Structure 1
Amino acid sequence: MRLKSGIFVSALLRRCQVEGAYAMVRRRGSEEAGAVFVKVAPLDGTAALYGPAPQSEIDEAYPADRLFGVVVAPGSPEADSEARMVKEMRFDPDLWLVEIEDKQGRHFLDLAKD
């Protein structure tokens, strides 16, 4: 059974805090099953955006794992991430958006293998 989105986001925020990165919830989605997107801004005018990995990337041996994929590549202009999130919010009003500000560009997520 997968963790509720609200619990996952709380844990991510705490992990960021422990590691010395600043993180905030920019958009609160459905507590139970809202999709989670994470924007990482290294404070240099660029950003990366991570979103739920495609179902084909989920390991059937570990179906409860929450995996992410790159939606906007690191080093892209920050406006690209913002524009993509506008589209995502129109498509899914129940999504979560977490923003992490970290000079090292760390995301603290499990990424699906390419």
Structure 2
Amino acid sequence: MRLKSAIWVSAYVRRCNIEGVFAAVRRRGAEEAGAIFIKVSRLDGTATLYGPAPQTAFDDDRPGDRAFIVCVGRDAPAPEADCEAYLVKEMKFDPDVWIIETEDRAGRNFLDLVTG
């Protein structure tokens, strides 16, 4: 069983704060199972945006875990405007999304990432 989005978001924000990274919930989504997007601002006008990994990225050993992929800024941090444009499209497609914004010059994200 997957952890509710609201609980996962709360734990993630707390983890960021413990690590000395500012994190805030910018948009609250569906409590139970809203998709979660995390924007990591580098405080220089660039950012990386992370979103939910596709279901094909999960295996039978960890079916309830949350994993993320880079949505914007895969090779290098992208202009923040590119991340914002992506988020606007997501909000139009799914009004139940969560958006968390963090600020860290080093770009730390504390996420389980799916690469490939």
| Same fold, TM-score > 0.5, yes or no | yes
CA distance in 1, matches of 2:49, 2:115: 16
SS of 1:90 mapped into structure 2: helix
Aligned residues: 114
Matched, 1:32 2:32: yes
Percent sequence identity over matched residues? 62
Q: Deviations over 1:29-53 (max 9, x none)?
A: 0000000000000101101100000
Q: Does 1:80 align with 2:82?
A: yes
TM-score by length of 2: 0.96
Aligned residue identity for 2:101: E
Structure-2 separation of matches of 1:51 and 1:8: 14
Q: Aligned-residue CA RMSD in angstroms?
A: 0.7
In 2, Cα distance between equivalents of 1:61 and 1:103: 34
Runs ≥4 residues deviating over 4 A: none
Structure-2 residue corresponding to 1:89: 91
Shift of 1:113: 2.8
Return the letter of the residue paired with 1:112.
V
Query: What's 1:107 paired with?
Result: 109
Provide the residue aligned with 1:17 in structure 2.
Answer: 17
| 1:52 corresponds to 2:52 | yes
User: Aligned residue for 1:7?
Assistant: 7
Corresponding position: 1:98 with 2:100: yes
> What is the TM-score normalised by the length of structure 1?
0.97
Distance 2:83 2:77 in 1: 11
Partner of 1:8: helix, strand, or coil?
A: helix
For structure 2, the 5+ residue unaligned runs are none
8 Å CA contact retained: 1:57, 1:113: no
Q: Secondary structure at the match of 2:32?
A: coil
Deviations 1:48-92 (A, max 9, x none): 100000111112211011000010014111100000000000000
